Amino acid sequence: MELYKENQLKIYNSLSKSKEDFKPITEGYVGMYVCGPTVYSNAHLGNVRTFMFFDVVYRYLLHLGYKVRYVRNITDAGHLENDADEGEDRIAKKARLEEIEPMEVVQRYTVDFHNVLKNYNFLPPSIEPTATGHIVEQIEMIKEIIDKGFAYEVNGSVYFDVLAYNESNHYGILSGRKVEDLIHNTRALDGQSDKKNPQDFALWKKAEERHIMRWPSPWSDGFPGWHLECSVMSTKYLGESFDIHGGGMDLKFPHHECEIAQSQTCSGVKPVNYWMHTNMLLLNSQKMAKSTGNFILPNEILSGKNNILPKAFSASVVRFFNMQANYRSILDFSGEALEASEKGHSKLMEAINFLDKIEAGKESTFDVQKWKKDCYAAMNDDFNTPILIAHLFEGVKLINQIKEKNASLTPEDLSAFKKTLNSFVFDILGLMNEATQDSSDKINGVVELLIKLRKEARENKDWALSDQIRDELIELGIQLKDGKEGTTFSVN
């Protein structure tokens, strides 16, 4: 039986502002969409916190036995400098300043984003679509919205008519905002804008002469609005209604609010059942943002090349740090906090490394089944990783007691304990055992050195030494393979 059938997951839904039982649209299947990066610069750690949490969500859903289609987009066009449909496209501006092609900017920072996620042990999404790869679909959705009477074209640009939509729907249903308040709190249009109302947002923008990124459309040579791509790609790959939509809380308004309006206009149904939003990451008690210069890049943490932290920290320690706070809570990042997390992480890994040395006893002095249920209960309660970690350290305490001969587990309980602990630490939280990795790296280094010595022996026609190195490695379970590109090895 799949684990999801015996675990009732509850999710805090930003739409209802309450925890709800998770019931996917199709039993056994989950469709999840998460807003990805705009690739005009390096993703800072605050951005990565959101992706890291949804990596854990993805991992847990897979662990429960769901078949998950996880879609996370790449915004490579259409994201202007502010949310008022003004300013330059962020990617085009970067390209202009550096005097390179926009797609060079996109490629550079997409590669960097993927490298960061690889270093931090992320699972890749099922699909990673791009905005520029779906221009045709975006134009078709705009046509449909116009036909439904909720958009208008002015001077080559197309805008979504928020007031018209709000007559029969609720614009603000996710963020809790009312159009009346939005009207009251916004300045009157200055006469230079094509919009009917300040609240309207762009579906298509006519490109100015200097604008590099442009595509032909029925209205003008231009580019799609930022909000449109997510409506198009989520519905294309997950359907008109799907299970989970995630992102940072800064996207709740206007981005996700606009997504709902666009998608619901076209389909006539609620597009998403569960909206999930992560809170922000602070740096030394201040908001992490590139605009203020108060940020740190994920790879700067690994290298130690920064002016913020006292030393380098491993990716697994950073993951562990992130999971020690609820995803809906503000988290303050600092050198002191990371050092504390490093100590906790080391205790956890030291205990796990001792697991294989534990011998089963005749009786169990620890209720493994209750502990296991508590671990699942924590994750089932809106992915409560801090509570899960507290339960994992109950397991650490048990291991230390066994080490001191003050506790024992029967063979059956010991097997269940090992399996559960490893599943939650490595498969679900995505932590890494650096001690094991370091040993593996050292072994690889020793084998490469022996391959080098064997090569030198063969060049000197010392066949006896060459064969001795090969044969003794075979006895250790390491098979050498000579080829045109050199010698490789495999561990049997």
Is 217 within 8 Å of 139 (Cβ atoms)? yes
Half-sphere exposure of 371 (CA within 13 A, CB side): 24
Distance, CA of 313 to CA of 309 (rounded, Å): 9
Closest CA to 151 of 142, 160, 143: 160
Residue 491 has a pLDDT of: 62
Residue 78 has a pLDDT of: 72
This prediction's pTM: 0.87
Closest CA to 46 of 254, 295, 255, 276: 295
Written as six digits, the tokens of 367 are 């209720």
Is 39 within 8 Å of 358 (Cβ atoms)? no
Length of the chain: 492
462-480 as b/e, with b when 16 or more CB fall inside 10 Å?
eeeebeebbeebeeeebeb
Type and span of the H or E element at 481: strand 478-483
Distance, CA of 236 to CA of 230 (rounded, Å): 10
Written as six digits, the tokens of 177 are 């905002």
Is 76 within 8 Å of 128 (Cβ atoms)? no
Residue 465 has a pLDDT of: 85
Distance, CA of 57 to CA of 385 (rounded, Å): 10
Residue 439 has a pLDDT of: 47
Cβ neighbours of 155 (radius 10 Å): 8
Q: What is the pLDDT along the chain (492 residues), one digit of tens a residue?
A: 899 999 999 999 999 999 999 999 999 999 999 999 999 999 999 999 999 999 999 999 999 999 999 999 999 987 776 665 677 788 888 888 888 899 999 999 999 999 999 999 999 999 999 999 999 999 999 999 999 999 999 999 999 999 999 999 999 999 999 887 777 565 555 445 789 999 999 999 999 888 888 999 999 999 999 999 999 999 999 999 999 999 999 999 999 999 999 999 999 999 999 999 999 999 988 888 877 888 999 999 999 999 999 999 999 999 999 999 999 999 999 999 999 999 999 999 999 999 999 999 999 999 999 999 999 999 999 999 999 999 999 999 999 999 999 999 999 999 999 999 999 999 999 999 976 444 455 566 777 778 888 888 888 888 888 888 888 888 777 878 787 657 877 665
Distance, CA of 120 to CA of 383 (rounded, Å): 19
Task: Note every long-range contact of 401-404, with CB atoms under 8 Å and residues 24 or more positions apart, other chains counting.
Answer: 401/365, 402/358, 403/354, 403/358
Residue 201 has a pLDDT of: 95
Q: Is 441 exposed, middle or buried (0-12, 13-18, 19+ CB in 10 A)?
A: exposed
Written as six digits, the tokens of 63 are 């662990």
Handedness of CA 21, 327, 232, 127 (dihedral sign): negative
CA angle 152, 194, 232 (to 5 degrees): 45
Give the N- to C-terminal CA distance of the chain in Å, as an integer.
34
DSSP characters over 220-287: -SEEE-HHHHHHHHHHHHH-SSEEEEEEEGGGIIIIIHHHHHHHHHHHSS-SEEEEEEE--EEETTEE
Residue 155 has a pLDDT of: 96
